[in-house]
Every structure is written in structure tokens, then in C-alpha cells.
Chain A
Amino acid sequence: MLERIGVGSVADLYSDVPDEFRYKGEYDLPSAMSEQEVRDHIEALGRKNVQLKVFVGQGAYDHYVPSVIPYITSRSEFLTSYTPYQSEISQGTLRYIFEWQSMVCRLTGMDVSNACMYDGPTAAAEALRMCVASTRKRNKVVMSTRLLPHVQQVVRTYMKYPGIELVAVDDVLAELGPDVAGVLVPSVGKHGGIQDLTGFADKIHEAGALMAVYCDLSTLAVLRTPAEWGADIAVGDGQSLGLPLNYGGPYVGFMACLKDHMRKLPGRIVGQTVDKDGKRCFVLTLQAREQHIRREKATSNICSNESLMALWCTVYLSLMGPEGLRKVNELSSAGAHYLHDRLMATGKFEDFMATRTYLNEFCLKPLCDVAKLQKALLDGGYFAALQLEDGTVTFCVTEKHGKAEIDGLVKIVEEL
């Protein structure tokens, strides 16, 4: 090979690199391991983690994972392919993205979905950027402080650098004005409460702004959809569709909107067409929005997304169907309300929310020492009662947790 190239050594291939930049040291890395050693090493690290029964949500929900999903997503043809630039040999990827877009539209009621975003919080930030791009000469956005804390943090970061004015308040409608481009509200608040968005869309649209709703896709099987609330944009995380907790990622963000805003949507979009012979096929489309064509004029800088995680969720939704998804919500909700009752009966909490209008997540005002409570729960193998900034503690129940596990949690609280 060197002969063909016409050099004497591999080192000569770096002859264009000034000598002062040639790295002559040894990387400070461990010595090469065999597969078995890697397994043993990771296993040993894993044993330093504490395996807990998870009763906290806050944007990451411990739902049951059907065994079919990892089996499908680990198929090499999906796993080891790149973004589907060569559509003739990427119909598998393109089809599942098209199915995912369709499912996101059916869940949210929106007209068009993109291929996916990094996660819910970044999708939320991109939604507000999209509002600014879609409305003329408006540079202010409003977000509800009822959004999950991690969503608010990422939105703050994204708005800061391009100088988009951001107001974070509880009463978002009071902030409407001629300079407001968009309003972001959750469909379920950080305390777990299902939000009543009646009248929001009318007021926001009257003020000339766009309405974006942050929602959990799983819950849309039972809750009023962003489209039914009159929203222009729906965003959120797909994690609750059977993605493992995975210490926070990879998850998958989604983003969908009404048809009018389609050409302002960031990210990849798959469309249906026909090939030369008239066969139905799928391609990346509307690429004039994207960075590889438009560079600095693109709707976003997003390139790689979380495609395989979108496949994960698509397979999950196929397995669940409308019935399964409804049952996931019902079982989780039944467990959460049962836990709520039992915790109140211990006398160690006060109700914080005015009504019990929540699904699988709720907050209580602790009447006991929170640090002691959390430690007792951890010692008993539970991750629960995470404290929010306002001092309340949050609980979440999914269909994974049986009555026995819930009773075990309550017993620890009772014995406190």
C-alpha cells in the first residue's frame, strides 16, 4: 500500500504536519483489555450503582419495556446505518421515520411532524425559536413556570445567546403583547397536574403569537391533545414510550406543528413519493430548511438526531396500540392515586394540589424531615420523594410497580 502511495512509511503520510504538533508522547490511557476484562470492569463499576425501585418521574418515566423492542432496534441494518442520504438503500430507516411522524401526528393531532429532536427540552427550545422565526419583528417569548425544571433550564440556555427575550411566569396570558412571538405551556405541569388550557389558544392568537404545548406522548392516549387545545406546535419527549431510564439518555424529542408552519420546522422530514418505476417510496424532503443546504439561514443547526430512539418508540406504539397505551395510563394512574391515598393516611404529608387531577405523578407538602424521609426510602431500596424547589416532594407510579412495591414504600414512611 505504501508503494502505491509512493511513501516509505506511514509516518510520511503526516509529513504535512509541522513537527512541533506531532504528538510524540504516550496517551495516558489504560492498557488494552480483552472482551472479558471489559465485561468484568464494567460489571464492577455497575456494582457501585445502587439499584432502586424508581418512584420519581420529572421527565424520565420508568415504564415497562417490551422485549421485542431491543431485539428490533439492535438489528445491524438499522443500528449501523447513517442518516438516510441514499434513499435507494435506506428505505427501512425512511419508512420507520415516516411511521413515527404519522404516529406523532395522530397522538398530538398536528399536521406534520419532523423526524425527531435530541430530547424534549431541546425540542421545547426549538419550538420557541420557531415562534420567533415565524412571527415578524417579535423577539419575546413566554414560558410557563409549570414546565418541568429541566425543560425551563434548557429553554433559558437556548434563548440567552441569540438575545431572545424570555419571560418565565405562572400566568403566561398576562404577558401577552405586541412583541410576544410565542408561548410555551405544558399539558401536564411539573407537579403532575393536568393543565386546563381552555381559552389559551384564542387569547394567544388574538395577541398575534403562536402557542406551543409541551406534552408527554404517552399521556395523549387519554388527555386532550395539543391540537384540541388549539396549539400551533406540539413538542416533548418520547422517553415515556418504553425507553429505559438509561441515566438520562439517549431519549428522543418530538416536534410537530400545523401545516402553515411546516416550512419553519427544524430537522429532517421524511416524505412519500414514487420511484422511477412508480413504486411507493420515501425520501428526506423539504431539505431547503436544513443546514447542509441553507447553512446559516437554516431553520436550525440540527443534523444527527435520535433516529434509533424514534424507531424504539415506533415499535413500542405498534405493540401497544390504542388499547395498550390507554391501559398504561390507567394502571399508572391507579397506582399513583392509591399511593397518594396511602401516603396521606400516614399523616406525614399535606395535600399540595387543589384537586386530584393528575395521571401518574403528584406532589405533596412534607410534614416530616425530608432528608430523613429520603434516606429511609433509599435505605429501603426506593427512589421517591424527590424535593422540588418549592419544597414539595414528588412521586410517580408506573405500571411497572405492583401493589406490593407501593405498600413497601408506604410502610417505610409509616415507620419513619
Chain B
Amino acid sequence: MKYYDKLIFELSHPGRSGFSLPNCFEGAGADTQQTRATLGTVRGGTVSCANGGAERSEAVCGCLIPQHLKRESVLDLPEVSEVDVVRHYTNLSQMNFGVDTGFYPLGSCTMKYNPKINEEMAAHPLFTGLHPLQPAETVKGAQEVIDDLDHALAAITGFKHFTFLPCAGAHGELTGLMLIREYHMARGDSARTKVIVPDSAHGTNPASAAVCGLEIVVVKSRPDGLIDVEDLKPLLGPDVAGIMMTNPNTLGLFEKDIKEIAKLVHGCGGLLYYDGANMNALLGAVRPGDMGFDVLHLNLHKTFSTPHGGGGPGSGPVGVAESLLPYLGIPKVSGFHGNFGVMMRAYAYILMLGRENVKNAGPYAVLAANYIKESLKDAYKLPIPTVCKHEFVYDGLINDGGHDDVPGATTLDIAKRLLDYGFHAPTIYFPLLFHQALMVEPTETESKETLDAFIDVMHKIAEEAAKDPEILHGAPHDTPISRPDETTAARNPIVKA
């Protein structure tokens, strides 16, 4: 990776451009090739578009907009050629690390390999040109993709049907909570305004509940990392809409008291929400629908291999048990049918693996996680030593080179040093239960050699911390930039060029 310092605006040169527009209004019945010829574009360089047709169209457009409805200010967009654009963004891409670059053990994010056939199918021209409001009889193929995916996800999770409108995991959480509220409202049970969220939950859980107008009640975890059932009991009552659970939870632990929790929550009239961010661990092993959950969301961009795209697009379909089926169509949470392109990728993934292989994803992911966990417990604090699922949490180094409770090397230092060695860092400082949390999720798509290489590097970093923590404090050393000044960024925000 090499540092490249330009912004696209800084490449701008007046009069330069990179577009090639058809001139649809020059000459009656002119075919595309003729109009292209008329336009006289030069691909890859500056483009000259001046011709009678364009001027005429400008006249049409210009005189039809009254002056007071027209833009006044000059539009200062970059003026760059096609080759400028391609080189600029290619250079930007080379400062980025993706799953295709290397190992990405980011906990709770399930950074598994994204098969390329998925991309090819998502870009299939027989689907990409469909308008979302086209009549049903003209989109039968697209609808079949959605129906097949609905069926597949139902089979894998043990739920009845899904809505595909949510565009991401948190969006799914919000949708699921709306369904829970619809359920209670339909029964005239309008006093249920509280939702129980474990202290180990993803931050999106309480945030989604707040957006849904629910009050958040926190249930504590026991020292072994599982929900404290005794702490839960007094929280239950006629004002509880439900509980949001992640199982396995964010510590990578299976909530084995789930049967009792389900009984208690259902007993007080509440419902159980399953946060599917950690569903990868359960592929082939457990169906959330069988554990008593009423509603769940899945992250197709985690469990079903669709790429994260630097933060999206994702897809967060929400599945329901029989009791919530009547409400599934009510919350209209996005504009059209959800992120169809992402659904297509997940569909291709499931078709490729098939019933023979989908069931292996969970066990292999769990195997990889436990292998790393056991391999590094000599150097890293392992607060919860029991068998983990797809991920686990270390609480910093055992010998961090520090003294008297002052760590010589922190989790941040370890994370930054990993970047020097060509690995993405694990999730850090989450969950909030441990001060130096390092949350590692390797996924099933990594070879033993990759896992071993990571383990070796983590050992090496532990040695460095003990001998010369300065190396870690200064890390990363071999990346396009060193540690950024985040304080100044927040204090004096510069958020546009």
C-alpha cells in the first residue's frame, strides 16, 4: 500500500470532462451509432460535446424553468477526464485493505470470502434493468429469486417467512421490533413499551429500540459471560414487549439457558428477538426458530457472504414465526423491495454451497475460532476459557510490558501492530465487559496455514510488547499513514473539501 494524497477536486482542470452522452434529439430516427458519431466524443480524454442538438435541448430545458426556480450558485464539481478518474480511484483503492487483500478477523462482522460468481450474478443484465414498479407479470424471475431465498432462509433458520425490505442489520432490528409492537397492539396490549437488552449486546440493539419508541432495560451478564437469569426475572412484567438476544452472544458464547429465558419471557407475555449478526456459528448446527425465538434478522452481508463494500450495501431480512406472520407486511421500512442486488448474491452463495455444504460453514467457523483461542491463551488473557462458537474475546496481553496496572501495550497497540504484519485487526474495545477487549472472528473460509500465520504474528507481538513496547506504541509503521489525530478531527471538524 502506498500513500496517495490527492482528492478528485485537486485534479480538476476547467473544460475537461469524462462523460459520453447520447444525443437523443439530433435527427429523427437516428440510431445509436449515428448519434454517437454526431456527438464526436473522445473516450478517455477531454470530450467536446458542442453541437446543434445539445444546444437546442439546452434551450428547451432552459426556457422552461422560470428563473426563480433555477440554481443560482455555480456548481463546483470536478472537471476531469476518464483516465484521471480511473487512476485516481485506482490509487485510492490501493490504500484499502479488504478480504481479498488478507485475513480480516473482525469480530461480529463475519468477514468471510466473497465468491466472485455472486458478483457476476448480481450484475446480470436480465435483472439489473428492472424497474421496481414494473407489473408483477414482467418481473417473475426476480420474484422467484426472492421467493427461493425466502424458502432457503426459512429452512436454515426454522422461521416461516421473511421480509426483505431492511437494507442492513440495524434496519432489520428496527423492523423486527416494529413487528413485535404490531403484535402487541393487535392484541390491545399497548402498555408493553420496554425491551430488555443484555449488557453484552451490539450497540445497534438499544439504538434500534429507541428509534422504535421503546424504553431500554439492561439485563446483566454473569461472570461466565451468559445472561444472568436471576437478574432477568425481576425485569419481566406486563410492560415488557420483548427481549433482544444475540446467540451465540458477542463473547461468542452460546446462551445455553435459552430454553428457560424463552419460557420466562413468553410467560410474561413478551416476545424474543434474535439478532442474527452471529448466525454464522449456527449454520448446520442450530435453528433459531427451534429455540423459541419469534422474530430474527439475518445479515446477508455477514452469514451469506455478500461483500461489505466499505460499509454497505447490506441486507437485513427479517423472519418471523407463525404468530407474527399476519404483521410481516406492515412496516414499510424502505423505498421499494429492499437491496435486490444483495439478495441475488446471497442466493448464488446458497445455490453454490447447496444442502451438502451450507451445514459445514458453522462447524468450520467454530473450529477455526477455537483453534486460535487455544493457541494464544499462553500470551493473551482469556477471561472466559470455555468452548466458544464463531468468535471469542481476549482481554489484552498477559505480559503487556507494563507494571502496576499500567499496561505497557494496550489493545489499540496490538491492533495497530497487526496492520504492519499484513492482517486486519480484530474488533477492539467491544464488548464493553472487558477493558482491553480484542474480539476475534476468523470465519470458515481461512486455511489452517492462514490461521497459523496469524497465531505466529500474535505471539511475536506479545514478545515485542514484553521486550520493547515502543515498537507497538508507534505502530503502524508500514501503512500509508500513521495513527491519525482523531481528537483534532472531532474538535475542529473538516467534513468537506
Contact = CB atoms under 8 A, between A and B. Distances in A.
Looking at B85, B286, B342, the one whose CB has the most chain A CB atoms below 10 A away is: B85
B92 interface: yes
A81 B480 contact: no
Contact of A402 (B35, B61, B356): B35
Given A244-B129, A271-B494, A77 B96 contact: yes
B191 interface: no
A346 interface: no
B382 interface: no
A83 B98 CA distance: 10
Contacts of B286: 14, 17, 21-23
A315 interface: yes
A188 to B, nearest CB: 10
Interface stretch (A171-179, A205-213, A291-299): A291-299
Nearest to B132: A248
Interface string B118-156: 011101111111111111011111101100000110011
A319 B98 contact: no
B453 interface: no
Contacts of A402: 22, 24, 30-32, 35
Contacts of A75: 89-90, 93
B471 interface: no
Given A80-B100, A88-B476, A273-B489, A194 B93 contact: no
Interface in B154-213: 155-156, 158, 167-171, 173-174, 177-178, 181, 203-204, 206-213
A120 interface: yes
Contacts of A92: 92-96, 310
B138 A286 contact: no
B137 A50 contact: yes
Interface residues of A, number: 204
Contacts of A383: 131, 134-135, 138
Contacts of B135: 374, 378, 383
A49 B126 contact: yes
A74 B21 contact: no
A87 B76 CA distance: 28
Contact of B80 (A274, A287, A318): A318
Interface in B398-437: 415-416, 419, 424-425, 427, 430
Nearest to B145: A45
Contacts of B123: 70
Contacts of A287: 490
A224 to B, nearest CB: 5
B57 to A, nearest CB: 4
Contact of B482 (A66, A85, A88): A88
B311 to A, nearest CB: 4
B168 A43 contact: no
B495 A101 contact: yes
A79 interface: yes
Given A15-B387, A17-B285, A129-B211, A49 B130 contact: yes
B307 A80 contact: yes
A221 B19 CA distance: 15
Interface residues of B, number: 199
Contacts of A87: 481, 484
B285 A22 contact: yes
A300 B204 CA distance: 9
Contacts of B351: 30, 32-33, 37-38, 41
B227 interface: no
A283 B486 contact: yes
A196 B155 CA distance: 52
A83 B64 contact: no
Contacts of B311: 82-84, 93, 115, 268, 304-305, 307-308
A62 B128 CA distance: 11
A297 B210 CA distance: 8
B366 A13 contact: yes
B488 interface: yes
Contacts of A376: none
Given A18-B259, A75-B93, A27 B359 contact: yes
Given A47-B141, A77-B101, A269-B495, A118 B334 contact: yes
Given A15-B387, A320-B17, A321-B17, A247 B211 contact: no
Contact of A89 (B96, B121, B174, B334): B96
Contacts of B78: 317-318, 321
Nearest to A82: B308
Nearest to A274: B485
A78 B312 contact: no
Interface in A317-367: 317-331, 333-335, 337-338, 356-359
B493 interface: yes
A319 B386 CA distance: 55
Interface in A1-54: 1-2, 4-7, 10-18, 20-23, 26-33, 35, 37-39, 41-43, 45-52, 54
Given A45-B126, A82-B424, A303-B168, 11 more contacts: A5-B370, A72-B86, A77-B98, A118-B167, A162-B212, A228-B71, A247-B127, A247-B130, A272-B495, A273-B485, A403-B24
6 contacts: A93-B310, A222-B65, A273-B494, A304-B311, A304-B312, A403-B29
- Closest CB pairs A-B (n = 5): A46-B126, A248-B336, A32-B354, A308-B309, A248-B132
